[in-house]
Structure 1
């Protein structure tokens, strides 16, 4: 049985943020190692590159879509238990991939293990962070999810080195053992309520006012029936169709424009750098300018950067796109959980975020594939990239319109007066 984390003089919310950073680092970093294994898998199993995008899409659909299940379970059983289970599944998926005898078995182990593992851990861990912060919620969320960007930068090169040193099978095994050990160990630091440690959110003294926001909030059923949730869902859904297109098609686009493959791959790293910067630094700005306004700005920023991509023709312009897009994408990912908690409260935040992220799951599954089919028909990426930019512009308009509706938590507080 897992025991409670020890009490400490330092506000415990920062330990939860650190744990969330490691969990997202391990989970998403493991997901992005797949590209490092492609050459080895092609050589041993005769796999086609065309199947790789489907593996990513399926894994992405699982880890965003399963938040609908893991979020409510975490609200009931605790985020720590779901986080630890997810890290075990990530490690198990990588370990099983090392024993695969066919490429289908590798794909199944990777897609299901990584997808289900991250799906179990991601939303519950983010939900736990939200309950420990109010005034600095955007900053804390940004730090927590910056593990995704850092994992994207660190884990693929590590996997490449392990493959060169040990071979792809032992590389998968080492990564699996490390993911399970480090991920589960970090998950044990996660907690759900600052009152367990003698404080309210943000480390404020524990009193009625400080403790109230921690578990105040509407039910999941009440939340999904509001205009505020409908607007957030629609904006995320429309945006997500374009947001994940660069992760699959930016490198082929660059190669089509006479950028060498080795240099083109660096563009994904630039998205990771921009994304890490956005998650680290923009969350604090959101706390000052207003998190709703900041969310609209992130959609506008992604729309503008995607428009730059539509007209880009060389490495320099593509690098500008990659850095800008990563910055705004990172800010979007960082602020969404905080916005949800602001408007629906912390009582059922895991379940509400999980349902909201089904919109992102649909976009992850369909957007990159639709862009590929559009390219097959037109032999150009202009149309799918332009549509991606327009989709984010529409998402910004929807998010701005949604700001005009009353927050359900505000309505709940007024009813309690």
Structure 2
């Protein structure tokens, strides 16, 4: 007699569909944002603007898509992640389309900066927060898989943008990217769901009443979380790290061009960051589940600093490619591990809201870092100082985590909420 599997046994755990949807949001949103380096020279040329003023476009967008998590995270906890993710992808598409019609740098600020910035800000924290609730045992792996969309987006989208710019101009390129954001990002966002209990499941597909489900149901309040020593540690660490974390995404291509690298090869360096980032998010996220996410966070911050040291002495395409890959690996690990650390410490009840508040630190760093590096170049015609400052910032960020986590010991709120 053959025993037929039940529907539940035949079905794929829906958490993986949530991961796939979050992956698509990251791929489209951040992939579109990180094409900016490919547009920097055409925009600078057509509008007769300085490198610093053009770099400010990315800084505005970056500030918004991290700062808006302060609002989108709590809204996702209350109303669900799906509507915010869908709205975010629509805003990205509208912003890119509007940028294609810009007639001045100010209009690029408004279209790209506000459209892409607000769009990614609406979608990012709700999407990644939803993933955290669907997993416990494999949370680091699932989170890493979801945010690997950022890495693959960085790998695929800048070369695509470069090809589009060469064939249809930068205005046509923005239109095509906007269509991709609407169709792929908006469509996949419909698969996002906030919590496995709505499907009668617990995290990892377990029965809803087990310990894992209880873990996700409880957790610290937002007030308790942000007043804890560990949250302060994470916030300060992210703030310091992020001053330099996004400088390569804006300035690596022009740096390479300044050192005689052909335009076609220079833009591929962003793809190398994306390849490394994908590997880092995928493998370091899984590794963090085994070696401990605290220690993994310290490791990736240190690795980002060492990669910056390579950039400081790089002068040819192969050395720059080595920097790009190594930096991508550790940057990807940082992005993958951070949300899981928040979930570990503070539980699932308000995870999106807490992540959103944490990411305001990254917003301020993103607003200042890339544009400051551009203005420093305008003054000195060199990127050496911004690169070295970025490396030092990552070391300081790692030391903050070491010192404050060691001090807090087992007194974290997470001990009461796990």
TM-score (norm 1): 0.90
Matched residue, 2:81: 79
Aligned partners of 2:92 and 2:178 also within 8 Å: yes
Matched residue, 2:3: none
| Secondary structure, counterpart of 1:265 in structure 2 | helix
Cα deviation 1:87-128 (Å, max 9, x = unaligned) = 111111122233444443233111111000000000110000
Matched residue, 1:155: 157
1:409 counterpart = 2:411 = no
Write out aligned runs for 1:6-405 (5 A). 9-38=11-40, 41=43, 46=48, 49-166=51-168, 168-376=170-378, 379-404=381-406, 405=408
Hey, what's the Cα distance between the residues in 2 that align with 1:216 and 1:228?
18
For residue 49 of structure 1, report the CA deviation from its aligned partner: 4.6
Hey, what's the Cα distance between the residues in 1 that align with 2:272 and 2:172?
29
| Secondary structure, counterpart of 2:128 in structure 1 | helix
Hey, what's the Cα distance between the residues in 2 that align with 1:43 and 1:372?
15
Q: Relative to structure 1, is the Cα distance of residues 196 and 155 closer, same or farther in structure 2, using a 3 angstrom cutoff?
A: same
Alpha-carbon RMSD across the aligned residues, in angstroms, is 2.4
Q: Structure 1: 5+ residue runs without aligned partners?
A: 1-5
Cα deviation 1:126-173 (Å, max 9, x = unaligned) = 000000111111111111011111112222333344455555544433
Q: Relative to structure 1, is the Cα distance of residues 39 and 311 closer, same or farther in structure 2, using a 3 angstrom cutoff?
A: closer
Hey, what's the Cα distance between the residues in 2 that align with 1:204 and 1:334?
23
Matched residue, 1:3: none
Q: Relative to structure 1, is the Cα distance of residues 296 and 215 closer, same or farther in structure 2, using a 3 angstrom cutoff?
A: same
Hey, what's the Cα distance between the residues in 1 that align with 2:296 and 2:278?
17
Cα deviation 1:9-46 (Å, max 9, x = unaligned) = 21111000000000111111222334444566567655
- Larger CA deviation: 23-32 vs 162-171: 162-171
Q: Structure 2: 5+ residue runs without aligned partners?
A: 1-6
For residue 268 of structure 1, report the CA deviation from its aligned partner: 2.2
The number of equivalent residue pairs is 408
Hey, what's the Cα distance between the residues in 1 that align with 2:156 and 2:28?
10
